[in-house]
Structure 1
Amino acid sequence: MTYNQLDPNKVYLITGAAGFIGYYLSRKLLDQGCKVIGLDNINDYYDVNLKHARLQQLEPYENFTFIKGDIADKGLITEIFEGHKPNIVVNLAAQAGVRYSIENPDVYIQSNIIGFYNILEACRHYPVEHLVYASSSSVYGANKKVPFEESDFVDTPVSLYAATKKSNELMAYTYSHLYKIPATGLRFFTVYGPMGRPDMAYFGFADKYFAGEPIKIFNNGDFENDLYRDFTYVDDIVEGIERLLSNPPVGDVQHKVFNIGNNNPEKLMVFIETLEKCLGKALGREVVFEKVFEPIKPGDVPATYASTDELQKAVGFKPKTSIEEGLQKFADWYVDYYKVKW
């Protein structure tokens, strides 16, 4: 399977560049000599120090331009497209988190709906070669058929976050149909790794452990019917995106949606035990979390499991990092970054 390589002469606009995936993708493109315009509003949904730490690693690159701003600011988006004329746009800026969408729905509409609409409008008025945007595995809702395939019915989202991501897919399809904008949506499956998001469970578990607090596990304490998650290491996600960037969809409607997941779901408890072992290895001693079992939270789904056949067909790629390897890299980074001494 061949795919078009990146063209370092192109201008790449990455929104959410100080975010977890945005940072890794920006760095990967910059390492290959590409010109990257990074946009981020550095919101305080989680520790902004981590966002600044990511940006500090991008700033030394001559080809990197950072703009602090919000995709919900239509005037700013127009200015960026006018001034920088991006060839390829990767929209990763979004309000993340399933549970937070229940507490604070306003920010999801602002960022994920209005912000994405502004990006689509800009791509319409300042045509681009390819728009790649973040969707989510949460669009599958409580889908019982596994693995999840891109052709599955996704009209029953169980959180507002999922509903906004499904809306993004519909909006992108419409703009592709009306204005011939080549667009690709990516349904990410539980992305993890060093410098990840502190609101994600694995990161929170490490925080709780070092604070001497028990971890809460929202699976009803039911080990027989434990939650399954398709945990995907960040490097695999970034390689999948990178391969797709120069390969826009073709056809009557230039719109395509892909799963990017590990295609190998793990029980939540197995993931937790592996994290204990990896932290133990990083510290040189045994690590055992104190565990409190709670009911499943509203909006959570019992299983996420990606079929990656379509991605493999399109660009010859299938994620391959095991949770043992990925969690060890996270644990080593965490112990070093937070200067954990025990």
Structure 2
Amino acid sequence: MEEAVLLNQTTVVTCFRLRGLSINQNVQMAAFAMFLVFYVLTLIGNILIVITIIDDHHLHTPMYFFLSNLSFIDVCHSTVTVPKMLIDTWSEEKLISFDACVTQMFFLHLFACTEIFLLTVMAYDRYVAICKPLQYMTVMSWKVCVLLAVALWTGGTIHSIALTSLTIKLPYCDPDEIDNFFCDVPQVIKLACTDTHIIEILIVSNSGLISVVCFVVLVVSYAVILVSLRQQISEGRRKALSTCAAHLTMVTLFLGHCIFIYSRPSTSLPEDKVVSVFFTAVTPLLNPIIYTLRNEDMKNALNKLMGRVKGREKK
């Protein structure tokens, strides 16, 4: 009898409404202009990094191999949410189909989790390079790098499948409005017509635990690196500190969002949208800024690439 009542009360949801960043039209137009610029710069910057690393044989090292992976992930990560958000600023309804919502959640968590694992691997790469330089090419051989890349992409895929499969199985009914500008598991499961307490615990134990554990590992890695740097000469110390500071900035901004969102119950806070903006639009843009403008090797390789391109245009 109870199941029959539940079925009668449950409406099959075929789409959701995204609330967006604001209901104020002026704010939405300002957000459109700002995020369009962010997105274009993200694409240009990260694609240039990938092309430069592929083009310059001097950058065919483990560090830049992982950096090219990071740039590729940032392009994909930003593309999952920002184009839809830009389109929705011109729409009053801001609808997204159920299938599109699930697809967005899957790829969002795929790229986010893969990036978390990648940042951890990059920290390990810097640890070996700084603390064990004589063993670096043995420990971080190309075979090891490829295996690590396959492992982190596989881990991200398994994580994403686990979360989205939990979300798909839930029954959904009115209200159908998601309090954000993209679909994410915590906001979507709040619309389910059933008790989601156990699923929320699984999300915290999955996404939250991954974020916290990786963050702790990263902090410990950099602590060991900083201790090791005390024994190096000033020039080597300065360059290593610069690299580690850039990496740690990215880690803090990216993992800070994941810990804030996924390490607590699925409750909406006013800060959620602000944090989500940094997660989806700002952080992917910081990668080319931090890793290119602060890296002499990348700047030299980029200048050489631009010089060859201009030379071909003149011919």
TM-score for the superposition, normalised by structure 1: 0.25
Query: Greater relative contact order: 1 or 2 (C-alpha under 8 angstroms, separation 6 or more)?
Result: 2
Greater strand content: 1
Larger-Rg structure:
2
Compute the TM-score of the two structures, normalised by the length of structure 2. Answer: 0.27
Q: Is the helix fraction higher in 1 or 2? A: 2
